[in-house]
């Protein structure tokens, strides 16, 4: 009575001052639509639908009297501890009104993960017991001792899946055309029915494209789940689960007390391939995103196994896992949007590197590729003066702008510097390749590479290429082709500059020596590129700029055949 007299209930439920009593059903509806941070559903029943849905659509007659519409929810976040607490239409309506929620199968995924791990652990330990290497009592004691670590492994999977959805939501408007193409393919293959899954039809997608909208989190949750299912089926039919390079994923799936003691039994596990595929799919989709596979398959013609392997190799070459883990340590310390921006910057580098590796189709195995590129690239990134110390002019200014933006978001200086240097880090793949071909240190080649790029304004050209629209598959493919062409030609020009200059000279002098082989042609090219980059980017203008750069490769007297 005292709380009622103080108006606490009225304020908590957002009721009008003159409301003194409510029928039970209205009170429950008021609780559901109360202004609060979180609505947690942990019970049985469907309590939220969409405005356009009838109560019959919810399929829960017992709660018809208290059910509310998604647009009526006044909470910031909905957490689904139970199943079917909201219809998919209700979720989407709430999300499109500015609310934050996933779906029940995403929020409850830890339960399924726990069951899978429990079964797989017990299969292994039961085989150990049957072989006489462990008693039943020892098995039970070991199981009990691993409870907390199993919970931590499960929660980490759940956490990473939510990070993946946050990344997807950040890019949802710009990638809607990709999501649409992927939905069409899945629907065409008979994987799902859009209407049954609550995904927008083609007319709705066109409307959202025109409005600059994307898929909502509940819709992204559905598409991500089907992506994982289909990708797992594809990878199980490939040789990827048997690749020795990925064997560590099998071992890390199990708790620490089992990893060294029962490694042989893990290799002989009857579900070994399925475990490896589950880990590959989760890590690939959670870090590279749900569109990585379909987009790059279209662009490169590579199969899912090739793309997955290339992504893992690229991730290791650039030390992305460690950097990703470091970003996670700032949870609840930095703005989540800033963390998402850093993760996407890292993801972009790994994706471009994976694409480069797939198109190269090296004869080395995965470990060989990592050994060749990883050490050399890390020497440039982590050594003195570091990659940032090799930049100048426009490239340096762009790096400083990215770094300062992160510092403004309270990112520590060291981390801000390492994130800000990621975009030009992609060039180190061709730098390392060129260095090995000419017998020079990667740092030496990198200095010439960036000095030559500054002389011609290639960083400005790249920036304009990256600014091209990607509203459909063909614009995206054309943009990627221009970007790849520019990086390839830049590498060839660097090789030319190295060939016509002295190893004892600093990078600017070596670039000047290259320019002196055809000063008028180089000066004219630099002037043309400056003019091209001075205007708003369009494909025709940038194609001309690319032709100008490509023409420099065959300049007579500039070092012979650099190709």
pLDDT tens for each residue of 137-163? 999 999 999 999 999 999 999 999 999
Name the nearest CA neighbour of 46 among 110, 105, 104: 104
Whether the predicted pLDDT of 436 surpasses 50: yes
- What is the gyration radius of the CA atoms in the chain, in angstroms? 28
| Model pLDDT, residue 561 | 39
* Residue ranges of E strands in 277-435: none
Is the separation of the CB atoms in 515 and 528 below 8 Å? Answer: no
Task: State percent of the chain over pLDDT 70.
Answer: 96
Q: Kindly state the average pLDDT of the residues 482-488.
A: 92
Q: Which residues of 273-289 are buried (b: 16+ CB within 10 A; e: fewer)?
A: ebbbbbbbbbbbbbbbb
Nearest-angstrom CA–CA distance, 494 and 514? 9
Name the nearest CA neighbour of 281 among 315, 234, 345, 347: 234
Q: Kindly state the average pLDDT of the residues 428-441.
A: 96
**523-530 long-range contacts, CB within 8 A, separation 24+:** 525/456, 525/549, 525/551, 525/552, 526/455, 526/456, 526/457, 529/456, 529/457, 529/458, 529/460, 529/461, 530/457, 530/460
End-to-end CA distance of the chain: 86
Q: What is residue 100's DSSP assignment?
A: B
Rounded to 10°, the helix 147-171/109-130 angle is: 140
User: DSSP characters for 122-160?
Assistant: HHHHHHHHHTTSS-HHHHHHHHHHTHHHHHHHHHHHHHH
C-alpha distances in Å from residue 441, one per residue of 261, 437, 446, 484, 493: 42, 10, 9, 24, 17
Whether the predicted pLDDT of 234 surpasses 90: yes
Phi/psi at 49 (5° precision): -130, 180
The per-residue pLDDT for range 247-276, each reduced to its tens digit, is 999 999 999 999 989 999 999 999 999 999
| Helix (H/G/I), strand (E/B), else coil: 246 | helix
What does the block give as tokens for 324? Answer: 């990703």
Contacts of residue 412, defined as CB under 8 A and 6 or more positions apart, other chains included, come to none
Cis, peptide link before residue 385, omega less than 30° from 0: yes
Whether the predicted pLDDT of 476 surpasses 90: no
The per-residue pLDDT for range 5-38, each reduced to its tens digit, is 555 666 788 887 777 778 889 999 999 999 999 9
What does the block give as tokens for 501? Answer: 């200059």
Band (555; pLDDT cuts 50, 70, 90) = low
Q: What pTM was estimated for this model as a whole?
A: 0.90
The per-residue pLDDT for range 80-104, each reduced to its tens digit, is 998 999 999 999 999 999 999 999 9
Band (339; pLDDT cuts 50, 70, 90) = very high
Instruction: Give the chain's mean pLDDT.
Output: 92
Is the separation of the CB atoms in 417 and 476 below 8 Å? Answer: no
| Model pLDDT, residue 19 | 77
Whether the predicted pLDDT of 319 surpasses 90: yes
Contacts of residue 493, defined as CB under 8 A and 6 or more positions apart, other chains included, come to 452, 456, 514, 549, 552, 553, 562
């Amino acid at each position: 009575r005292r709380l009622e007299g103080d108006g606490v209930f009225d304020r908590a439920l957002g009721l009008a001052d003159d409301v003194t009593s409510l029928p039970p059903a209205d009170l429950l509806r008021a609780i559901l639509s109360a202004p609060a941070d979180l609505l947690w559903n942990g019970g049985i029943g469907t309590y939220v639908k969409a405005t356009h849905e009838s109560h019959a659509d919810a399929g829960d007659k017992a709660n018809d009297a208290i059910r509310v519409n998604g647009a009526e929810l006044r909470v910031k976040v909905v957490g689904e501890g139970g199943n079917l607490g909201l219809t998919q239409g209700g979720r989407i309506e709430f999300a499109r009104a500015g609310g934050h929620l996933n779906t029940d199968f995403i929020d409850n995924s830890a339960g399924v993960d726990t069951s899978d791990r429990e079964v797989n652990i017990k299969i292994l330990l039961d085989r150990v017991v049957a072989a006489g290497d462990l008693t039943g009592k020892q098995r039970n004691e070991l199981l009990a001792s691993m409870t907390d670590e199993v919970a931590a492994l499960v929660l980490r999977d759940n956490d990473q899946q939510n990070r993946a959805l946050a990344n997807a939501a950040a890019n949802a408007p710009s990638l809607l055309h990709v999501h649409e193409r992927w939905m069409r393919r899945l629907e065409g293959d008979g994987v799902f029915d859009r209407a049954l899954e609550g995904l927008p039809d083609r007319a709705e997608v066109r409307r959202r494209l025109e409005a600059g909208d994307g898929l909502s989190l509940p819709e992204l949750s559905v598409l991500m789940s089907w992506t994982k299912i289909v990708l797992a089926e594809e990878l199980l039919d490939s040789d990827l689960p048997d690749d020795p390079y990925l064997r560590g994923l099998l071992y890390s799936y199990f708790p620490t007390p089992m990893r060294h003691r029962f490694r042989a039994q893990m290799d002989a596990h009857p579900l070994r391939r399925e475990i490896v595929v589950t880990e590959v799919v989760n890590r690939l989709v959670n870090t590279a995103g749900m569109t990585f596979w379909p987009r790059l398959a279209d662009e490169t013609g590579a199969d899912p196994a090739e793309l997955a392997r290339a992504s893992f190799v690229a991730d290791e070459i650039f030390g992305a896992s460690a950097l990703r883990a470091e970003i996670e340590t700032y949870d609840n310390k930095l703005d989540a949007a800033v963390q998402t921006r850093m993760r996407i910057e890292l993801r972009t580098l790994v994706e471009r590197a994976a694409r480069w590796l797939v198109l190269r189709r090296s004869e080395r195995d995965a470990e060989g590729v990592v050994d060749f590129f990883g050490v050399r690239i890390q020497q440039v990134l982590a050594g003195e003066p570091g990659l940032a110390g090799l930049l100048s002019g426009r490239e340096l200014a762009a790096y400083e702008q990215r770094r300062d933006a992160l510092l403004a978001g309270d990112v520590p200086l060291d981390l801000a510097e390492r994130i800000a240097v990621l975009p030009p880090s992609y060039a180190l793949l061709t730098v390392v390749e060129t260095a090995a071909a000419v017998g020079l240190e990667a740092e030496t080649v990198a200095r010439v590479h960036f000095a030559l790029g500054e002389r011609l304004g290639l960083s400005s050209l790249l920036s304009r290429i990256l600014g091209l629209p990607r509203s459909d598959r063909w614009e995206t493919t054309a943009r990627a082709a221009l970007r790849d062409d520019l990086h390839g030609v830049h590498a060839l020009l660097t090789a030319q500059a190295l060939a016509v200059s002295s190893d004892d000279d600093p990078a600017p002098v070596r670039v000047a020596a290259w320019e002196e082989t055809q000063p008028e042609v180089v000066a004219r090219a630099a002037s043309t590129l400056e003019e091209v980059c001075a205007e708003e980017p369009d494909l025709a203008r940038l194609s001309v700029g690319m032709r100008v750069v490509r023409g420099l490769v065959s300049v007579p007297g500039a070092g012979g055949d650099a190709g």
